[in-house]
Amino acid sequence: MVVIVAGVIAAIVASAYLVGNQLGTDTAQLRAASSAAPSAAPATGTPRKVAAAARPPAAPPPQLGVQPVSGPGRPPLPLEHGGPFGSRRTTGTPQVALTFDDGPDPAQTPQALALLRQYGVKATFCLVGINVKAFPGLVRQIARDGHTFCNHSWRHDIRLGARPKAAIRADLLRTNEAIRAAVPGARVSYYRQPGGAWTAPVVAVAREIGMTSLHWTVDPQDWRRPSAGSIASTVNSSTTSGAIILLHDAGGDRRSTIAALRSILPNLGRRFQLGALPPGIDPPRMHGHEWPLKVGQT
């Protein structure tokens, strides 16, 4: 009897040892598997939804210089509620932007470029297509000096915004192509409607092509040919942080504007950071410090 009881006890001990050994092996395998594979849903608590596992992986963030900001439907700056039909009236940062319309002009654009170079200021040039075609060397000089391009229609058509969308698109694309013929690979990320005669269709077409519609904050009306002192006084007294300033380097006699720059550039340079609008690689830095220059910026 004692022998039988001893045998039963021995069998029970052996079975317990085998079960414990197997459990230890299984636990080690589970730990190894969990370290090599993504974590599964917890055994307790609310289980994960099956649909979540079926979602595609998130796209990697765009790489600067590889994925440009500008392009069809992707202009570099958002619409602004304060501007006509969403056009931009400010830079979106504390930086102040000088813009020059109607060029290039063989007499006056080089003078404007020389003064900008002298004071170390970058600007945005809104170019008319027929002038681009006539003076491609000046377009290349604008690019070499590090300024930003803006489309100003093919022949300064004030009524362009009232035309059919197909006509607007053809006009804007023709002007962009002329700029890129002069400067291959140039980014044209802005459009300015001649006369400020904005309409919803012209803003929409510009955006579809990949251009921000560019209005202004300060307008000394230099196209009326006031004195240099009047132009400088208006700009110097009216400019505030984030302003976009409208000036002209072409479209008529702009000697007063060129002369006014000798006051405007040092005056504003002491009070603000002056710079070109971003041409389409990097968004503006909201703190207003230097806008980065990356590959592809012109």
Give me the pLDDT at residue 113, please. 98
Give me the pLDDT at residue 78, please. 86
Please pick, among 152, 156, 215, 248, the residue that the annotation labels catalytic: 248
Give me the pLDDT at residue 69, please. 56
What is the identity of the amino acid at 12? I
pLDDT band for position 279 (cuts 50, 70, 90) = confident
Judge whether residue 284 has pLDDT over 90.
Answer: no
Please give the average per-residue pLDDT across 180-200, as a whole number: 96
Name, in order, each residue with C-beta under 8 angstroms of 225's C-beta and a sequence gap of 6 or more: 252, 253, 256
φ and ψ at residue 25, rounded to 5 degrees: -65, -45
CATH code, residues 85-271: 3.20.20.370
pLDDT band for position 74 (cuts 50, 70, 90) = confident
Distances (CA, A) of 261 to 40, 124, 236, 243: 66, 15, 10, 16
* Per-domain boundaries in the chain: 85-271
Please pick, among 101, 157, 222, 249, the residue that the annotation labels catalytic: 101
Query: Before 104, cis peptide (omega within 30)?
Result: yes
Judge whether residue 293 has pLDDT over 70.
Answer: no
Catalytic (active site) residue 171: no
pLDDT band for position 59 (cuts 50, 70, 90) = very low
Please give the average per-residue pLDDT across 111-127, as a whole number: 98
Give me the pLDDT at residue 281, please. 52
Catalytic (active site) residue 101: yes
What is the identity of the amino acid at 54? A
Question: What whole-number percentage of the chain has pLDDT above 90?
Answer: 66
Judge whether residue 40 has pLDDT over 90.
Answer: no
Mean pLDDT, the chain, whole residue set: 79
Judge whether residue 232 has pLDDT over 50.
Answer: yes
